[in-house]
Amino acid sequence: MDVNANSRSRRVFCTIVPPHVLDKVSQHEDSALADPARRTLERDALERTRRRITTVRGIAAPTLEGAPSDRPKRTIYDSQHQDSLPGKKVRGEGDTATSDESVTRAYNGLGATFELFLKVYGRHSIDDAGLSLDASVHYSQDYNNAFWNGEQMVFGDGDGEIFLDFTIPIDVMAHELTHGVTQYTANLEYFGQSGALNESMSDVFGSLVKQHALGQSADEADWLIGAGLLAERVTGVALRSLKAPGTAYDDDVLGKDPQPGTMDDYVRTSRDNGGVHINSGIPNHAFYLAATALGGNAWEKAGRVWYDVLTGGELSPDAQFDDFARLTVAAAQARFGEGEERDAVRGAWEGVGITDLDAR
């Protein structure tokens, strides 16, 4: 199968802040809080439509001659608070740092993501063929999101009231870029359980990029996605928690983190593409349980098993949680044998209520 051709047929528009969160904020009585959220939702809807139109027209995947480089090819643009992309080029690969901290953080975050995938998994950029990594900062006005649009990363500055600059958390960058990795590999459909797996893969590798950059073991990591993104007034620590889904925030404006950690609390909804940002808490927690049971650096064992499944060719685009779980157990056995690693992965899935784990 031509993976890139298949990817071109289903490039999705993925944001770090779920629409249900922004919708909650947009209904607040304080217009200083509601208006930026409302504008962000409108901007996201336009970008999502643009993504669909571009996909229908078709965009050829970039091809490179020769072996891909072991160095990233990063370009950072400044949107200058406009809605057009990519904006003005402000830093290329190897250029001297500018005084703009958002530019520096974006540049470094793209590099850290490239480094994890190359050094740990032998992957050359998100397409494994040295694809250039482009990012735009200072997108739109008070834009409360960051997104991967199938071609590049885009970061808003936040409104300063609920969200801060979206380049602050390195795992936000890595999360969105991992949507690109998924796009070029398993290409998981962005709906229901397959969509929640898509989101979970981004949270998992987003967390691993942060842990790798900080040199943290599984026991030392905070297992949060988006720590440092919420403004001081918000009662919360991050957007999501792999360690304890449902506890990242509980705020009078944002509401309460709705993520379940086990199948007992699985949320059935037609919103958010069938709850892709909500039910991703279940496979997220399974990864946390596997990683901490295995100990050491999470990217070395649990991360390798998850990567093997994502890129191995057996994961169908419409995979359900139990499909993915069975493949991870089989991948752990294939890589490490019938020992504690396989048992740790099996135990992790059983810990979140997924018990149909025998190969079919």
Active site residues: 176, 277
Take residue 311 and report the two structure tokens written for it.
């890129």
The Cα–Cα gap between 264 and 197 comes to 17
For the chain, the residue count is: 360
- Locate 267 and state its tokens: 């949320």
**175, containing H or E segment:** helix 170-184
Those residues with Cβ within 8 angstroms of residue 124's Cβ, 6 or more apart along the chain or in another chain: 68, 69, 70, 117, 118, 130
Residue 146 corresponds to which tokens in the numbers above? Answer: 């960051």
CB 179 within 8 Å of CB 14: yes
Residue 114's SS3 state is helix
- Prior bond of 86 cis (ω within 30°): yes
